Amino acid sequence: MPQFNLGLKPAQIEITLIPGKSYTQAFEVTNNSNDSVVLTTSVSAWQPLDNLGHIRHQTIDQLPFNFSLVNSDLRLGQEFILAPHQSRQLVLKIDNPEIRNIDHYFSFFLSQQPSLLQNGQNLAKIGANILISTSTESVLAPLKIDFINLSPRLKDTFLGLNITGQISNPSTRFTHLQGKITLKKNNEIFWERDIYPYTALSQNSRQIFCVTEDKHPEDCHVPAPLWPGKYQLEIRQDPSTPHPDYTSTFFVFPYLLSFLILLVFLFLYLIIKNYQTRSSKA
Amino acid sequence: MTLRIFLALSLLSTLFPPTVLAQRFSSPSYLINWGNFNLTSGSKTSPNYRLTDTVGQNAPGYSEGDSLAVKAGFQYIYDTFDYLNFTIDKLLIDFGTLEPGLEVTDTNLLTVTTPSGRGYQITAHEDHTLWQNSNVFIPDTTCDNNNCDANHAAIWTQNNKYGFGFNAQGDGSLSYFPAPNLFRPFANLDYNQEPAVIASESNPVRNHQTLITYKVIVSPDQSAGHYQTYITYTLTPNY
């Protein structure tokens, strides 16, 4: 049974391309299946869909940049065959005729072409992101923290703490989130993580994730136990600045344990009271 | 006098040989000793930047043989990312002979691996309805209560609700198809519908799988014949 198994790298390129300049990027596509695959290349524009990095492609008649393949034997949109377990380098050239001070986002697609032998089948398409800034701004408007949420509402010693939030990029070019989230207790660092450097597109927002020890993004979660006391959460986008961009103070208390102890005492009290009532009646 | 100086210099050069900058590469099978690949190359760093360069490379570019590949010069081919990988386990879905009022299903397994730091999204669309031609077709499902569309799944269990649709189950599909009995029609390019997201995840994944279940139920009035369409799955990384 024929299958599709295609790899593409890099998955994303981020470039600055001022008017009149061009950029060349090599993509490598690998057919990991045991069947030959007929592919074609194309470029489509997209816009961000949400603050998680999802995208929505747009249908545009004329792309604002000129895209071409500089491979000697292949043009953009021309079909080619990739044999089983074969890799091929596709060198994409991007020319900026006259676009200024605005970001554009594209996908470089490899699309499987239908087999001539059968009508109707599954087809696959795989794309790499191309982020192009045409801005000549040397100083970017600083990123802005839209909101930070700390949950649960009652900060309990044994429940841990979830930190969620969103940072927006008001500038005219894409950039990356950066900075540190620090949780302090008695002015000493209790927990600290770097903010994952996700791409923040121009005039868009991005949800905050933390960096794991193996450099992957993950939800920002402070594990239990958080010993009772006063805590201060600080977020610094530039760790060298003395003043944090965001601070929040809260208290942690062993509510669950207290409630449990209270329940036990109440239970004991009721047993003792019941026993005393019976004794006095006897 | 000149001869003495020459002999002295020769002796000094023997005692203090100049440093030779050579390249040496080895593997269990090969050893390459080469005096010079280029004028200069390497990685230069400062607190804010890292620059890699190759100057004076002869015959720059990519070339390959049966068992080797050479990437000469051209820093743009640096391997800075892992692969984005997409697998579809089979390309042909054959429902066989359909009987009116009896549902027929088949499945596909989509597997995704994303590079470090990137999530993904998969969109799906059909070129047109399952058809013999544009006048003879199996309609896209509207589910039991006529309340599903290309972007919203709904319950489809009744055998008198004829049509063609699909369900997706897996790590990234839960928010689009919360249960296995919820179905959608494919976004139909023939009706100018945009491809719809059927699975997505925010964090990097390795071999995450999405099980697609196709379902078709035909009415007693359905004309006999071969019905076909093209379903396209598009994988893009999150930015």
Domain range summary for chain B, segments of one domain joined by +: 2-77, 85-237
Q: For chain A, positions 26-45, list CB contacts with chain B under 8 A.
A: 26, 28, 30, 32-33
Q: Determine contact: A47 vs chain B, CB below 8 A.
A: no
Average pLDDT over residues B64-93: 66
Regarding whether A187 and A126 lie in a shared domain, the answer is: no
Regarding whether A60 and A21 lie in a shared domain, the answer is: yes
- 3-state SS assignment for residue B200: strand
Question: Does A282 fall in a domain?
Answer: no
Q: Determine contact: A138 vs chain B, CB below 8 A.
A: no
Give residue-wise pLDDT tens across range B94-117.
999 999 999 999 999 999 999 988
CB B237 to CB A121 under 8 A?
Answer: no
Q: Determine contact: B195 vs chain A, CB below 8 A.
A: yes
Q: For chain B, positions 79-118, list CB contacts with chain A under 8 A.
A: 79-93, 108, 114-118
Q: Determine contact: A176 vs chain B, CB below 8 A.
A: no
The number of distinct structural domains making up chain A is 2
Model pLDDT, residue B30: 57
- 3-state SS assignment for residue B12: helix
Six-digit token pair at A35?
Answer: 């069947």
Regarding whether A79 and A164 lie in a shared domain, the answer is: no
Q: For B74, left (φ over 0), alpha (ψ -120 to 50), or beta?
A: left
Model pLDDT, residue B110: 97
Question: Does A228 fall in a domain?
Answer: yes
ipTM: 0.86
Regarding whether A211 and A177 lie in a shared domain, the answer is: yes
Question: Does A265 fall in a domain?
Answer: no
Regarding whether A157 and A127 lie in a shared domain, the answer is: no
Q: How far is CA B168 from CA A112, B108, B142, in A?
A: 22, 9, 16
How many C-beta atoms surround the C-beta of residue A14 within 10 A? 17
Regarding whether A174 and A95 lie in a shared domain, the answer is: no
On the question of pLDDT at B73 being above 80, the answer is: no
A-B CB pairs within 8 A amount to 163
Model pLDDT, residue A30: 97
CB B236 to CB A55 under 8 A?
Answer: yes
Question: Does A1 fall in a domain?
Answer: no
In angstroms, what separates the C-alpha of B10 from chain A's closest C-alpha?
50
Average pLDDT over residues A60-72: 93
Question: Does A105 fall in a domain?
Answer: yes
A141 touches A174 (CB < 8 A):
no
Residue A122 is nearest to which of B82, B117, B231, comparing CB atoms?
A: B231
Q: Determine contact: A24 vs chain B, CB below 8 A.
A: yes
Question: Does A139 fall in a domain?
Answer: no
Residue A42 makes CB contacts below 8 A (sequence gap 6+) with A76, A77, A108, A109, A111
B111 touches B209 (CB < 8 A):
yes
CATH topology of domain B85-237: Immunoglobulin-like (2.60.40)
Question: Does A281 fall in a domain?
Answer: no
Give residue-wise pLDDT tens across range A196-254.
999 999 999 999 999 998 888 999 999 999 999 999 999 999 888 889 999 999 999 99
For the CA atoms of chain A, what is the radius of gyration? 28
Identify the burial level of B182 via C-beta atoms within 10 angstroms of its C-beta, where 0-12 means exposed, 13-18 middle and 19 or more buried.
buried
Regarding whether A150 and A46 lie in a shared domain, the answer is: no
Identify the burial level of A31 via C-beta atoms within 10 angstroms of its C-beta, where 0-12 means exposed, 13-18 middle and 19 or more buried.
buried
Q: For chain A, positions 191-250, list CB contacts with chain B under 8 A.
A: 196, 198-199, 201, 207, 209, 215-218
Report the CATH number at residue A116.
Answer: 2.60.40.10
pLDDT band at B77 (very low <50, low <70, confident <90, very high): very low
- 3-state SS assignment for residue B11: helix
pLDDT > 70: percent of chain A: 98
Regarding whether A156 and A128 lie in a shared domain, the answer is: no
CB B92 to CB A199 under 8 A?
Answer: no
Domain membership of residue A207 as a residue range = 144-254
In angstroms, what separates the C-alpha of B45 from chain A's closest C-alpha?
20
Task: Name chain A contacts of B79, Cβ cutoff 8 Å.
Answer: 9
Average pLDDT over residues B204-215: 96
Model pLDDT, residue A9: 95
Q: For A179, left (φ over 0), alpha (ψ -120 to 50), or beta?
A: left
Q: Determine contact: A85 vs chain B, CB below 8 A.
A: no
Question: Does A271 fall in a domain?
Answer: no
Task: Name chain A contacts of B194, Cβ cutoff 8 Å.
Answer: 56-57
Q: For chain B, positions 209-228, list CB contacts with chain A under 8 A.
A: 226-228
Regarding whether A129 and A11 lie in a shared domain, the answer is: yes
